[in-house]
Structure 1
Amino acid sequence: MIEVLFFAQVRERLDCASLSLAFPATGLDLDGLQARLIAEHGPGWAEVLGQDNIIRAVNQVVAERNTPLNDGDEVAFYPPVTGG
């Protein structure tokens, strides 16, 4: 299983805090996971997850889109964070 978490405006716009997905036998990278989520949930998800400024993390480490995933990983999608 892969645990997928959504934070802040991403969670609000998708109306979803988390999902658990079966890990495919063929393997998957972060970009493939995003494509799967969009295919399963529709164009609204494409609009949110496809934004260039969305941050993606695997096991709490910011990751590139081609990062390979493993069974048991935690993936998070969240907007850029600013502070003062």
Structure 2
Amino acid sequence: MLKLLFFARLREDLGTHEETLELPEGVTSVAALREFLCRRGDNWQTALHRPGLFVAVGQQVAGWETPLQGDEEVAFFPPVTGG
């Protein structure tokens, strides 16, 4: 099972902060997972294609082409700013 986490504005935009799901057939990378999730609707498409979006797999910052095997924690988070 994949554990998906959504932080900050993503949590608000998507209406969820966490979910688990079986790795969908044909989804072999973080990029493919993002496209699978975007099929849920316009709010998912907008949120997950926001410029500067980061992803972590197993609590390590990862790239979109990072492979998935189905038992990872995948976290999506927007850029962090401070002041």
TM-score, normalising length from structure 2?
Answer: 0.89
Overall identity of the aligned pairs, in %: 40
Q: Gaps spanning 5+ residues in structure 2: where?
A: none
| AA aligned opposite 1:15 | G
**Closer, same or farther: CA 15–82 of 1 in aligned 2, 3 Å:** same
Bigger proportion of residues as helix? 1
**Closer, same or farther: CA 69–12 of 1 in aligned 2, 3 Å:** same
* Count of residue pairs brought into register by the alignment: 83
| AA aligned opposite 2:8 | A
Q: Gaps spanning 5+ residues in structure 1: where?
A: none
What RMSD over aligned residues (CA atoms) do the two structures have, in Å? Answer: 1.4
2:56, 2:14 → 1: CA distance? 18
- Tell me the CA shift for residue 24 of structure 1: 3.7
TM-score, normalising length from structure 1?
Answer: 0.88
Deviations 1:16-48 (A, max 9, x none): 111111024545100000011111x21111001
